[in-house]
Chains A and B, each alone.
Chain A
């Protein structure tokens, strides 16, 4: 089949986009699951959609194409372009503009026969070989547009009449371009805001972003389907391919809530798993498809249960044992001099649960009961240079944490003392 930069099935490109953007060191030879030609086609598409954001370099083992974006400089998420590349037929695009024109005035409603007649009489006469749209094709397209909310249908007797939905006539006055610049980047399913922005004249945005993760864009369609299910309290069948599984597996679940990180860009679904009868966590970028099921009898009770458990969730994991929360205790102390109030502020503003208390003049203690101690480890490490004590009920993790500090010292060639100081504490004044 000839190359086309548009695609029918988004799932095919999702993993390529992620690889090119997040990893960026893989080349043609690394994609053993796909044919070389498939890789070449996907690479070419991504280069076309992403334009200036794609780069390539030559390694001894071949050319590596990657996407690199400084999201502090780029005000709009370039990965959204991939969601504006759905393929269509010649008939689709021709019918679209003709139908929108025939029904331009929302107070004009026409029956199928009138619409089909007009297509020929008013629009296709000048072409050498006019396209042919039978009643069935036009009816199908009208139904599709009724489903999307572009057209409404009303029955008069046995005849269906079609008109454009009572348009919120002027999108441009409904919401400001500034608000769309902002929410298209920070809101879930922000690509919809990007679709709306395309209706406005192009201009540079006044709003820029720091710590801005754009990785979630290729997951927008999956997220949208999950939100629909949550809103309607429906169960769904998801096809999921976790990190450790070699093949995708189907699960029947009731989606409850989306959790997202603004410190790594990952998005998760917390859902009630019907077979195991527990709340599980699923990474949304691992979900391949979502098929809507029946209304769920579990939604209300499990959502209530989740909200009761949330005070113990540091990251995204909920761990139950025999129906009760399986909690672990975490505590550590840090030293903050009297002029280092910002360290105490950091503890206060960065903690997601638990408490912070002053235990002596310069020592502050954080403690919490959480589902998963492992989720706190990266945060606690950010206080390295001032952690004066540390105690986890999960002793395995506690020992790992402590030995990892020694491993870091070895990595940098720092002598590990038997006892005694190796550094002048005053040298660390003013450290965050």
Chain B
């Protein structure tokens, strides 16, 4: 059971597409190049094209046809079945309405007992809730249809409110273990926690007047990292999921530039603080001010 195998490779997938096209009609050179460009890596064209033309891969005939009779398919491998079986044990699968009855005699690749997320927050969404699962599926349908949604939303301790918005994506945070609906509400991006949606329906009425949607504001912060106690690697791994650029300043100091959404500024401040004196904010001044304000306040407690 090999995971790193040509069976799952980009080249095999590309050649399967070439054969499928050749079964329909003989391939021209242009068609071959187009399929390779769509399916394989940016430098694959020369290799695949020449292997076919030089008859080293004897699957596409010299005239562009093929002796293969059936559009290529591949049974699920043992690895794929075992991974799917492992997924079937995940409570989040029911959100998608999928079940795998055919896999009853397959051993899962892993079980929930084999794997532990150590730092996920404890107040994740309730995937067992029928209401939650129904809302999830309605949102997913609306996203595919491009349809607006009428949503009833309730924050803790506040009365229910109703929103009509055009959904743009369902965003999942692994740290929070929550789904959020991102939508367009009168030209402004709106984020709603799925766990707080009490009712959700596709809206077929008239939309309120729409204004062009605003792009989320991207903000940049520049950090200086002092590489003591492996701080460089810890910081770079921690911020790995952002668009970023790192530079070495001298033997022990590094500069890291990160781009993040302006709405996440408070979160960024506490994430930077978590590295203590090994990370210093260089720019922008407003961000430096936020850090200084917290340190100043902390000093008043004389711990």
Contacts and interface: CB of A to CB of B under 8 A. Distances in A.
Contact of B15 (A72, A97, A258, A419): A97
B73 A100 contact: yes
Contacts of A66: 245-246
A178 interface: yes
B284 to A, nearest CB: 14
B230 A384 contact: no
Contacts of B236: 22-23
A167 B76 CA distance: 7
Q: Give the size category of A's interface with B.
A: 35 or more
Nearest to A151: B75
Contact of B109 (A129, A148, A224): A224
B291 interface: yes
B6 A88 contact: yes
A407 B74 CA distance: 61
Interface in A163-208: 164-165, 167-168, 171, 174-176, 178-179, 182-183, 186-189, 191-193, 195-196, 198, 206-208
A276 interface: no
A381 B58 contact: no
Contacts of B63: 126
Main secondary structure of the interface of A (DSSP, over half): mixed
B41 A404 contact: no
Contacts of B242: 70
Contact of B13 (A48, A193, A198, A379): A198
A215 B266 contact: no
Contact of A51 (B42, B121, B232, B273): B42
A405 B254 CA distance: 21
A252 interface: no
A209 B57 contact: no
Contacts of B83: 187, 189, 192-193
Interface in A199-232: 206-215, 220-221, 224, 227-228, 230-231
A10 interface: yes
Contacts of B247: 25, 59
Contact of B43 (A5, A94, A179, A195): A5
Contacts, number: 407
A414 interface: yes
Contacts of B295: 384-385, 405, 408-409, 412, 414
Interface in B114-132: 114-123
A230 B144 CA distance: 40
Interface centre among A183, A193, A408 (most CB of B within 10 A): A408
Interface string B63-105: 1000111101111111111011011001011001110101100
Interface in B35-60: 41-44, 47, 51, 55-59
A260 B116 contact: yes
B62 A126 contact: yes
Given A408-B295, A409-B299, A183 B75 contact: no
B76 A171 contact: yes
Contact of A81 (B10, B81, B169, B275): B10
B1 A206 contact: no
B294 A431 contact: yes
A151 to B, nearest CB: 8
Contacts of A126: 61-63, 67
B238 interface: yes
Contact of A384 (B87, B102, B174, B298): B298
B172 A263 contact: no
Nearest to A380: B274
B252 interface: no
A249 interface: no
A209 B171 contact: yes
Nearest to B299: A422
A127 B119 contact: no
14 contacts: A90-B57, A93-B59, A100-B74, A127-B62, A212-B173, A231-B114, A265-B241, A313-B118, A385-B295, A385-B297, A402-B303, A409-B295, A414-B295, A432-B270
Given A5-B41, A97-B15, A106-B75, 10 more contacts: A22-B233, A66-B245, A123-B58, A131-B58, A195-B80, A261-B118, A262-B117, A349-B122, A382-B273, A384-B294
Closest 5 CB pairs of A and B: A149-B78, A385-B294, A423-B296, A48-B43, A192-B83
